[in-house]
Structure 1
Amino acid sequence: MSVIRQPEVLGRTTRRRVVGVTAALSATAVEALAVGLWFGLVIGSRTVTTALAGLGILFCGALLRTGVFGATVSGVGDLLQPRRLGAALVLTTGWVVWLLLAELIGAAAGVIVATGVLAGILIVQFSIEQRAFRRSSRSIAVSVTPVLPSLLLATGAAALLSAAWFTDWSLVLPPLSVGVTTVTPWVDALHLGVFVFVLCSFLAHQRRFQLVLDP
């Protein structure tokens, strides 16, 4: 019997897709905000205060992103369970190692090596996160290794770091009149890097939720 003759099947598929896209948007918003604030704090003049503040923001963002994943695949639960805290900790560590490794090696080689290491850590982190919610949801395909989502997110991180380190240009647009105020829009390389990171993050999470929500 075709899907057209089974509207309930089509309805379930549509609902899963809507849930997946909504969850991907939520996870992207959390990740972009947390990583963006952390990156902005530590990429400039780094002090103990900014390093600790950035680390706290990064961990809270990782915990919230883990919560979005858990709420999507198994319902709202206790985020303070050891395995779920471990998943957030691995994600936080991955971002810190990524930046430190890139700075230690330096230049384009540092970005390439750090991006590869980050992709590997993300594969581990995504897998841990899936297993952390396995008991609460039988729909999670824990056998699926999230290689593509990890590569996409790491690619976005590489674009963000490259824009901040190696590119220095800006595009000033014609002034716009808003009431009695004149606004001069401008776009620089970092803006483009942030856009690429957000786009890659959304594609990564959308693909990831598609893997775990589809039967």
Structure 2
Amino acid sequence: MSVLRQPGVLGRTRRQHVLGATAALSAGAVETVSVGVWFVLAVGSRTTTTALLGAAVLVGGALLRTRIVAAVVEGRRLRRGPRWVGLSLAVAAAWICWLLLAEAVDSPPGPIVATGLLGAALSAQFALEQAACRSRSADADRLAAVVPGLLLALGAGLLLWAAWVPDWTLTTPPLSLGITTVVVRIEPLQLGVLGFGVLAAFAHQRRFQRLLES
């Protein structure tokens, strides 16, 4: 009843939910595109050019996602500067080390250990972002960064599965669209990127929900 008597509170809560959902979709899309493009380049032809391009995509995606966080917590200034550039470089390095470790050590220990370490690195990054966005940081808040990090690490595991699973392709019967015929092909890597995108959206939704509630 008290909420109904305060329409401003109800409206603010609704705006927070809409803002959090929009920001989560935006951050999830940035994460999916940056990590997905880098992963496709990394598992394809490995040259110096593709390695540098993939690293640039990872760093750019991390910086853009940080800007989304800053826009969501507009009431609290997110500190800018070399710290965030360095953090983005560290996260890009974590993704690269994850793939190198997963490939260097025999399966299944290699991918499991590499994915666990990646989840810890992403959780640490999220905890640092939360600490910069909040005036105070309780132990529960720091622990809240673990779940999003693990969700993204699980998505990384899906990418590995998609890259290493035996080749197969699902092809639909030819679909007639006017004067053209379309055939839809579904491959494991497409499913892996899709699964990563869904988990990334859920991970960032949890993050923004906690940030907006604080």
Tell me, yes or no, whether TM beats 0.5.
yes
The number of aligned residues is 211
Per-residue deviation, residues 100-129 of structure 1 (Å, max 9, x unmatched): 111111322221111100010011111122
TM norm structure 1: 0.90
Q: Answer whether contact 2:169 2:185 (CA < 8 A) is retained.
A: yes
Per-residue deviation, residues 17-58 of structure 1 (Å, max 9, x unmatched): 111111111111111111111111111221111111111111
Partner of 2:90: 90
CA distance in 1, matches of 2:178, 2:76: 46
CA distance in 2, matches of 1:60, 1:75: 25
CA distance in 2, matches of 1:167, 1:203: 28
Structure 1 range deviating more: 44-53 or 84-93: 84-93
Partner of 2:146: 147
Q: Is the aligned partner of 1:5 residue 2:14?
A: no
Q: Answer whether contact 1:119 1:153 (CA < 8 A) is retained.
A: yes
Partner of 2:120: 120
Within 5 Å, give how 1:11-160 maps onto structure 2: 11-74=11-74, 81-134=81-134, 138=135, 141=137, 143=139, 144-145=141-142, 146-160=145-159
Q: Partner amino acid for 1:203?
A: F
Partner of 1:174: 173
- How much does 1:168 deviate? 2.3
CA distance in 2, matches of 1:141, 1:22: 24
- Give the 3-state SS of the residue equivalent to 2:176 in structure 1: strand
Structure 1 range deviating more: 158-167 or 146-155: 158-167
CA distance in 1, matches of 2:16, 2:137: 15
Q: Answer whether contact 2:101 2:110 (CA < 8 A) is retained.
A: yes
Q: Answer whether contact 2:76 2:133 (CA < 8 A) is retained.
A: no
Q: Answer whether contact 1:79 1:85 (CA < 8 A) is retained.
A: no
Q: CA RMSD in A?
A: 2.0
- How much does 1:194 deviate? 1.0
Cα 1:175–1:38, aligned 2, differ >3 Å: closer, same or farther?
Answer: same
- Give the 3-state SS of the residue equivalent to 1:107 in structure 2: coil
Q: Partner amino acid for 1:52?
A: L
Q: Answer whether contact 2:78 2:132 (CA < 8 A) is retained.
A: no
Unaligned runs of 5+ in 1: none
CA distance in 1, matches of 2:131, 2:137: 9
Cα 1:44–1:96, aligned 2, differ >3 Å: closer, same or farther?
Answer: same
Q: Answer whether contact 2:27 2:68 (CA < 8 A) is retained.
A: yes
- How much does 1:83 deviate? 2.1
CA distance in 1, matches of 2:89, 2:72: 20
Q: Partner amino acid for 2:95?
A: W
Cα 1:195–1:167, aligned 2, differ >3 Å: closer, same or farther?
Answer: farther
CA distance in 2, matches of 1:198, 1:142: 29
Unaligned runs of 5+ in 2: none
Structure 1 range deviating more: 77-86 or 35-44: 77-86
